[in-house]
Amino acid sequence: MHPNTRLRDTALAPDYRSDRGHIVEDFYLPALRASTHYDRAVGYFTSSSLALLGQGLDDFTHRAGTMRIIASPYLEEQDIADIEAGYVLRDVLHRAALRDLSQAIATPHAARGLGKLGRLVAEERVEIKLAYVSCNNRVGMYHEKIGIFRDDTDLVAFKGSANETRSGLIGNFESIEVFRSWDPRDADRALRISENFDDLWNDRTPLLRVLPFTEAAKHIVEQAARDTATHSDLDDLPTNGTPIAVGQTQPDTSGMLSIPRDLTIRDYQKTAVHNWFAHRGRGLFRMATGTGKTLTALAAAAQLTSTLHKQNKALLTVVVVPYQHLVDQWASDITRFGMTPIRAYEATSAWYQRAIDLQHALALGAARAGVIVTTNKTFGDDPFQNVLARYSGQLLLIADEAHNLGATRLRTKLPGKAQYRLGLSATPERWFDDEGTEALTDYFGDIVFELGMGEAIQRGALCHYSYWPVLVELDEEEAELYVSVTTKIAKLMAAHHGSEGFDDDSPLGALLRKRANILGHARAKLPALQQQLAQRRAQSHQLIYCAEGRHPLSYEHDLDEPTQLDQVMAMVGNDLRMSAARYISETKRADRQSVLRRFSRGIDLQAVASMRCLDEGVDVPAARIAYLLASSSNPRQFIQRRGRVLRRAEGKDTADIIDFIVVPPSGATALQQETERRMLRGELARVEEFAHLADNEADTLDLLRPLRKRYGLFDT
């Protein structure tokens, strides 16, 4: 940006929203670069945000810019207890804020931004104050979010949901409103926000108290300025495919996890690892399916291994995954990172003694590190729990699809001795199980990094897609059974005040699965699928997600009818003469690998029909078309299935998702109307989720307009 650029030259918009761009790149940086003064009052302020604004701070520094920052420190339980016990309030607030800054220094990505702030502090061009609510002898958090940029003639004020944190500026879905003093429509609001800040800064705001903090923070930010030249190993990782320079001296990483030289580490993956270290090696990554959770986790494990090795400490890494084929997939990636892991599944005799020997080698210093990959089932069994109980060294637990470990049986098996914990999931929240979700966050910690599907598509980590809903009706018998099961669910939830768990063996879980199966097995789906397949019978790389088991009515009437998967295979192979294979839990491991290889080539295998086996973690990036017959209302399932087909692959720019949406039969009785409206709400919630990010969103929503009108669902 030209040094003489003014705020009014930056073409700032009146508002910014995460689904329409990057708040940092489109608003913060241009405004900061054009400013000579920056005022910010925010609920939570962490120095990690300065890592984002670093480039803007350089220009700001050259302009001799000044900053005023008001923030509210994060109070831990002990801080609150000290305040209630009568400790000096100013001292407790200072201690909490200094703790935030001290933790930031431990994260190099944030420390560089803090170092730049330190130079401004040393030059007396930054002042920091702490704000808190003081009312009726109670202390509360100040949680307002406003900011003002100024140059010599103009000002830009803004307010909105974004905190001055990395997650607030990048990871979350946020929006801000912008008011420009040179625009007559904005001038009064811009001036009023500026005056509100001045009142706050000068401690003139009722209910709030403001304390000076600059001097207390000086020694920390100035130390960060001196340490700015120190870089994390992650900062030297190759990005955009650029390898480490040939001939560069590398540390001896034999026998340890280490980053492959040819691996492209995306910036957001670096950010995730930095955030995890900033939270002392604990936390959850909420990353959209297909964005590289496995490689991000292994980069974190490699960095931790290297850090502990410098302290003469060995690290055991335990990776827990849902299925056996994911053990093999993880093992392949771990081998790429320079180690051969122990695969712990099936017969105990095949892995138990090797795991014990590894423990001994780590304890004696004969091994630098070790990795064990296991399934959820083996992890929860006594032999593996015995291995964990006998180990007393440094332990990192990585949970792939971590939401599974919130189940009643598994969450009690999580090792409390694990100093480092990392959970991976596109959807960490457990469906209908608040207790299990809370257990996960209690163990792993909070979500420390988020990358939603919209941002992943925007960044190019996932491909664009078109979404085509196909409406199919329940027949009268299916509709009656759906109403009957829904009535039972409502009674059960009312009896348990909505707290009935969703474990597989719970009564509510069984009823919810039965209701989902009524929709998934709707008989009208197969003729509709045949029409869609016929239009694409010459194309390859097609996935067909079938409903599990048999049609619920076949159990009701004791009918021996084929499964939906069997009927699909007969349709594709016999009727349409397309080459197809099934990929299910009963498929042998070698056959699964063969199916995926053939599917990737797309020469002698056009379609793969599956049930749940492709939901979690299986890499099928070649997939270009997905048919969703299984209509689960569980967000995790349909989010994962969308992610499967959006993975990037050579020669693949877009994907198509064909979703079969179940609607009530024509002429439904009045008694069924409300149940059917609720059914449609569930189906349409999935449609809106899929359509929102699709390239053809408008066409999709227009298709559903008559249905919404018929059932009065325009508020959905």
Query: Does residue 397 share a domain with residue 347?
Result: yes
Domain-located, residue 240: no
For residues 262 and 358, state if they share a domain: yes
Distances (CA, A) of 616 to 461, 467, 513: 18, 21, 18
427, 635 Cβ separation under 8 angstroms: yes
In a domain, 17, yes or no: yes
**417 and 559 housed in the same domain:** no
pLDDT at 229: 38
How does pLDDT run across 422-471, given as a tens digit for each residue?
Answer: 999 877 777 556 777 888 888 999 899 998 888 888 888 889 999 999 98
Q: What share of the chain has pLDDT > 70, as a percent?
A: 80
Asked if 288 and 193 sit in the same domain, the reply is: no
The HSE-up count of residue 298 (CA atoms within 13 Å, CB side) is 28
Look at 138-147, 157-166, 212-221, 477-486 and tell me which has the smallest mean pLDDT.
Answer: 157-166
Residue 401: predicted pLDDT: 87
Among 225, 264, 272, 270, CA closest to 54: 225
Which of the listed residues 414, 439, 457 is the one where a domain comes to its end? 457
Flag whether pLDDT at 650 surpasses 90.
no
Whole-number pLDDT of residue 163: 45
pLDDT-based confidence at residue 103 (cuts at 50, 70, 90): low
Q: Is residue 250 part of a domain?
A: no
Q: What is the tens place of the pLDDT at every residue in 331-378?
A: 999 999 999 999 998 789 889 999 998 988 888 788 889 999 999 999
The pLDDT, as a whole number, for residue 634 is 57
Computed from CA positions of residues 451, 374, 432, 279, in that sequence, does the dihedral angle turn out positive or negative? negative
Q: Are 287 and 449 in contact (CB under 8 A)?
A: yes
- Give the span between the Cα atoms of 302 and 251, in whole angstroms: 13
Task: Let me know: does 60 contact 149? Beta carbons within 8 Å.
Answer: no
pLDDT reported for residue 3: 61
What does the block give as tokens for 2? 């030209």
User: Which tokens in the block code for residue 297?
Assistant: 């986790």
Residue 504 lies in a domain: yes
Q: Of 457, 490, 511, at which residue does a domain stop?
A: 457
Assess contact for 614 and 626: CB atoms under 8 A: no
Per-residue pLDDT at 222: 65
Query: Is 716 exposed, middle or buried, given 0-12, 13-18 or 19+ CB atoms closer than 10 A?
Result: middle
Q: In 3D, which of 115, 148, 127, 124 has the Cα closest to residue 28?
A: 148
Q: Are the C-beta atoms of 542 and 658 separated by less than 8 Å?
A: no
Q: Tokens for 241?
A: 């495919």
Q: Are 132 and 209 in contact, with CB atoms under 8 Å apart?
A: yes
More confident site: 56 or 108: 56
422 and 500 fall within a common domain = no
pLDDT of residue 290: 77
- Look at residue 27 in the predicted model and tell me its pLDDT: 87
**Average pLDDT over the chain, rounded to whole?**
80
CA dist 377 and 565 (Å) reads 26
Domain with residue 666: its CATH number is: 3.40.50.300
32 and 77 inside one domain: yes
476-479 long-range Cβ contacts below 8 angstroms, 24+ apart: 476/665, 477/553, 478/518, 478/522, 478/523, 478/553, 479/664, 479/665, 479/668, 479/672, 479/676
DSSP label of 15: E
Alpha helical stretches, state H, 496-632? 507-520, 525-535, 552-556, 564-570, 589-601
Which is more confident, 710 or 548? 548
Average pLDDT rounded to a whole number, residues 129-141: 77
pLDDT for the residue 221: 67
Q: How far apart are CA 452 and CA 446, in angstroms?
A: 16
Residue 133 lies in domain = 7-226
Name the least confident of 8-17, 328-337, 524-533, 661-670.
661-670
245 domain-assigned:
no
End-to-end CA distance of the chain: 45
**Domains contained in the chain, number:** 3
- What is the pLDDT at residue 277? 92
Say if residue 313 is in the same domain as residue 343: yes
Higher local confidence (pLDDT), 241 or 504? 504
- For residue 364, what pLDDT is reported? 78
Indicate if 606 and 678 belong to the same structural domain: yes
Q: What span, in angstroms and rounded, lies between the C-alpha atoms of 494 and 262?
A: 56
The yes-or-no verdict on residue 55 having pLDDT over 60 is no
Per-residue pLDDT at 173 exceeds 80: no
Q: Evaluate whether residue 238 is within a structural domain.
A: no
Structure tokens at 450: 């988020």
d(CA 312, CA 297): 22
- Do 417 and 469 share a domain, yes or no? no
CATH code: domain of residue 91: 3.30.870.10
pLDDT digits (tens, 9 = 90+) for 254-301: 688 998 888 888 888 999 999 999 898 999 999 887 788 999 999 999
* 232 found inside a domain: no
Kindly write down the DSSP assignment for every residue of 591-626, as one continuous string. Answer: HHHHHHHHHHHTSS--EEEESSTTTSS---TT--EE
Which of 234, 141, 227, 154 lies closest to 194, judged by CA?
Answer: 154
The residue assigned the tokens 């017969």 is 347
Q: State the residue for tokens 């809106």.
A: 688
Sheet of strand 542-545: strand arrangement? 464-473, 654-663, 625-628, 542-545, 607-610, 580-583
Residue matched to tokens 């940092």:
24
Residue 51's pLDDT is what? 45
| Residues comprising the chain, all counted | 716
User: So what's the pLDDT on residue 116?
Assistant: 66
Mean pLDDT in residue range 648-677: 76
Are 474 and 441 within one domain? no
In this prediction, residue 172 carries a pLDDT of 46
**Shared-domain flag, residues 209 and 322:** no
Q: What is the pLDDT of residues 571-585, one digit of tens each?
A: 999 999 999 998 887
Residues 467 and 600 in one domain: yes
Helices (H), 16-170: 23, 29-33, 48-52, 54-62, 77-84, 89-105, 108-122, 166
pLDDT tens sequence across 221-251: 666 665 543 334 444 443 333 332 223 334 5
Residue whose token pair is 């000002």: 155
**Amino acid, res. 227:** D
The predicted model gives 476-497 an average pLDDT of 82
Place of tokens 């940029």: 149
Residue type, 75: L
Domain boundary among 432, 457, 482: 457
H-run or E-run covering 674: helix 670-692
3-state helix, strand, coil in the chain (%, to 5): 45, 20, 35
| The two structure tokens encoding residue 408 | 């009643």
Above 50 in pLDDT, residue 68? yes
- Domain membership of residue 241 (yes or no) is no
